[in-house]
A and B are shown apart, each in its own frame.
Chain A
Amino acid sequence: MADVTSGPGILTQIRLVAELRWRVLRNLIRNRNSRLDILGLVWAALFASAFVIGLCWLFWWGAYFSTSTGHFHWLLLLFWSVCLFWQAFPIFIAGFGAPFEFRTLLRFPLRFSAFYIIGLAYGLADFAAVCGTCWLFSIAVGVGIAKLTLLPAVLLVIVLFVWMNITLERLLSSWLERLLARRRTRELLFGLFILLSVSAQFLRPAIIHYSEGARTSDSVQRLIANVSPLPPSLAGSAVIAAGQGDAEHFFIGVGALLVYIAILSGLLWRRFAAQYRGEELSESSAPMRAATNLPSARSVRKSDPLGFLSPQLAAILTKEFKYLVRNGFVLISLLMPPLLVLLFSSQFAGKHPSVTHTRITSDSFFPGMMGYLILMLMTPAYNCFAYESKGIRNYYTAPIRFRDVLLAKNLMYAAILIFEITLSTMLLSIRIGLPSSPVLAATILALVFAVAGQFAIADWVSLSFPRKLEYGSMRGQRGSGVSIWIAFGVQILLAGICTMILFTGRWTGNPWLPAEAFAVLAAASLGGYFAALNALSIVAEKKKETLIETLSK
């Protein structure tokens, strides 16, 4: 017989959930297994604190300035900034990792009202919500100091605005949760985020090009005027009305905010009710009708494009390719190099560079750009087993030498590099033209030297400091601290060597000297790489327990 006669009260339930979140966070910090990880965490916490406090000061000053000088319309901009951050930030974060699903609390005997309130309270614990709340109260303090009589009105507006933001954020998050329940959507959203981040770099040139001399602040003011029926404008307008002693418009603003809160709460109530009833978000599709998909003679006889390789190498390469095309995030991130080529060439080279006054010649820009691409594209090779998960055991139970596994993985990276560099070179040839033949030859040979040399080191780092990564997830998705430092050090060293050799052509007046030097280095580097593979097989055998354990977690 169940001994439970009555459930805990709502306040107790909220407290229990808050404790749960705190314990999850505390255990996460405790389980950090290296000093570098803890250092990274402390650094991130300091950065986040500086960000929040710095902007608090800015919002306080903005509110104080606009109230004391009578430029009330700037308050609208402050409310809009807070609202946009509050709503947009959690959406981007959601694509970066599997958040704690408070729906799992449904296994406990919660009443729906408690579930709804916990859901709302949970929204207040988000980073964006903490930031938004701090900034809004900074605005209140700023207005209050400038004009004390306005404080009650501002506080009322801000409390309603916080309520509206929490409700809206929870509503968007719950819809997003439905969307992100599918792994593919999650990856695409993350890829989209990366692309948006890069595309943001093009904003400035675009604004300069299209603004035709108009002031940015005027454009923003015009934009805000067109969105006056929306909550941030309503909140700002209510404060402005209070400042101008216009009680009618103040109450209209407050009333409209209340209407928004009522509508959003109703919608949220419906969403939470669906969750409370046990909405199914699983991505396992229903079984399809049994298909007799025995292979046709034609499909079996299809020629094997990797037929020239051993079955094992071909198998691993095929598997790597499948993993690449199914990893939406990695696939989209392959668009980055050509995008960066376009961006940097428009900023520093070409006929009209937007950043520098004098354009950088192709002979200087091309090797620099290629070096940057290698820096970016080679980094994943330093944790090449990141996505293997429990599948890593296949490499140890199969009758193969581990050198074949490493070789296949490196071949895959080399294929990606060749594709990306060819594409980028084509774009550069269109945008700024190809460099002179000696520089082109030297750069290509330098790439061979740098890549082959790095593969051997990257393989050793991958075996010695593995870190499991999840598909379509960014939170905590980075290699181990040691591997990042080694990768960084090696790349800086190689970049230094290559730059010095490239400059010898100018210093000695022999333009082909760097190409000759790089040809020798590339041959040595390739020889060293193949010689290192057997030694790396021995390392793989020694490290297998750590590797399997780390990746199978």
Chain B
Amino acid sequence: MNEPAILTENLTRTFGALTAVDGINLSVTAGQFFGFLGPNGAGKSTTIKMLTGLLAPTSGRIRLLGIDFAADPIEVKRQIGVVPEGMGLFERLTGTEYLNFVGRMYGLGRETSKRRSDELLHFMQLDDRPKSVIADYSHGMQKKLALAAAVIHGPRILFLDEPFEGVDALAAGALKALLARMTERGVTIFLTSHVLEIVERLCSHVAIIHKGRLVAQGSLDELRAGVAADDSGPRTLEQIFLSIVGQSGGTRSQLEELSWLT
């Protein structure tokens, strides 16, 4: 029997009176490119933080690759790579030093870590400023470096929180190709993004979270089937998303209030 790569059971997280994530049950098969969507403040980042060990759940269970996170967090962390919200880089190191550091933290040998760092920096087109510290990188460069750091140890699950934000089109194309190849080789990718076109193009399966609750989960076709089609043909992910979470802004009456602007 194939154990899902990511499985959560009644995963809940509260902050005082606020329930940020409310009993969600996720199931992601190994090798899926999985998109996790939701409006601002829906609980996406909180979920991803719990799945990567940055935040303890209030209740519920997380199993990654069949391993209970709470029982063996070290083994789970060995198998996953993360690009967290805000990236979490050591900004006083150079790109090479940071990748070496991360490689070594995952237990790679010194030479392996160095070789992979150089290859990743070259792939990400970050090898032209070997002496610059990360603090001097642009936002897009930092993002690419965070991605490189997330894959240096060859993870079996990759968690990406807004990975393409600020990345130029050239690098984004190369990254998408890399991620697609990783899924072909059985790596599971769990991605959040507000750019629905990217999610639609890359992901085979999608889950939508709204106000802390999972409101939809399945393949894109399953999601399309669940939403009534209109005359203009098959629905886009954006249309599906809006029909599920509701149009949360820019309604006609609100726009009329800003008549001085239009």
Whether chain B is bound by chain A comes out as yes
Residues of the B chain whose Cβ atoms lie less than 8 Å from the Cβ of A431: none
Residues of the B chain whose Cβ atoms lie less than 8 Å from the Cβ of A178: none
| Nearest 9 A/B pairs, CB to CB | A315-B104, A393-B88, A391-B90, A399-B77, A399-B78, A398-B105, A290-B128, A311-B104, A390-B88
Residues of the B chain whose Cβ atoms lie less than 8 Å from the Cβ of A291: 127-128, 130
| Residue contact A315 to B78, C-beta cutoff 8 Å | no
Residues of the B chain whose Cβ atoms lie less than 8 Å from the Cβ of A293: 118, 127, 130
A73 at the binding interface (Cβ < 8 Å): no
Residues of the A chain whose Cβ atoms lie less than 8 Å from the Cβ of B215: none
B84 at the binding interface (Cβ < 8 Å): yes
Of B55, B88, B89, which one neighbours A545 at CB under 8 angstroms? Answer: B55
Q: Tell me the complex Cα distance, A314–B109, Å.
A: 11
Q: A295-B115, A390-B89, A399-B106 are in contact. Are A315 and B100 (CB under 8 A)?
A: yes
B136 at the binding interface (Cβ < 8 Å): yes
Q: CB-CB contacts of A396-432 with B at 8 A, as 1s and 0s?
A: 1111110000000000000000000000000000000
Jot down 13 A-B pairs with beta carbons below 8 A, ordered by A: A287-B128, A288-B128, A294-B118, A300-B114, A312-B107, A315-B101, A318-B100, A318-B101, A387-B92, A390-B86, A399-B74, A399-B77, A471-B92
Of B54, B109, B127, which one neighbours A548 at CB under 8 angstroms? Answer: B54
Stretch in A193-201, A251-259, A319-327, A355-363 with 4+ CB within 8 Å of B: A319-327
Q: CB-CB contacts of B82-122 with A at 8 A, as 1s and 0s?
A: 10101111111100010011111111111101110010001
Q: A399-B75, A399-B77, A400-B105 are in contact. Are A322 and B54 (CB under 8 A)?
A: no
Residues of the A chain whose Cβ atoms lie less than 8 Å from the Cβ of B74: 399-401
Count A-B pairs with CB separation below 8 Å. Answer: 129
| Residue contact B138 to A284, C-beta cutoff 8 Å | yes
Of B84, B91, B125, which one neighbours A397 at CB under 8 angstroms? Answer: B84
Q: Tell me the complex Cα distance, A301–B110, Å.
A: 9
Q: Tell me the complex Cα distance, A300–B109, Å.
A: 11
CB closest residue in chain A, given B131: A288
| Residue contact A394 to B92, C-beta cutoff 8 Å | no
Q: A interface, how many residues as a size bin?
A: 35 or more
| Residue contact A389 to B128, C-beta cutoff 8 Å | no
Residues of the B chain whose Cβ atoms lie less than 8 Å from the Cβ of A316: 101, 105
CB closest residue in chain B, given A405: B105
- Minimum CB–CB distance from A326 to chain B (whole Å) comes to 5
- Minimum CB–CB distance from A299 to chain B (whole Å) comes to 8
Which of A283, A327, A390, A397 lies at the interface centre, i.e. has the most chain B CB atoms within 10 A of its CB? A397
CB closest residue in chain A, given B119: A294
Which of A319, A323, A326 lies at the interface centre, i.e. has the most chain B CB atoms within 10 A of its CB? A319
Of B55, B75, B107, which one neighbours A311 at CB under 8 angstroms? Answer: B107
CB closest residue in chain A, given B54: A396
B177 at the binding interface (Cβ < 8 Å): no
CB closest residue in chain B, given A284: B136
- Minimum CB–CB distance from B56 to chain A (whole Å) comes to 7
- Minimum CB–CB distance from A394 to chain B (whole Å) comes to 6
Of A311, A327, A397, which one neighbours B92 at CB under 8 angstroms? Answer: A327
A304 at the binding interface (Cβ < 8 Å): yes
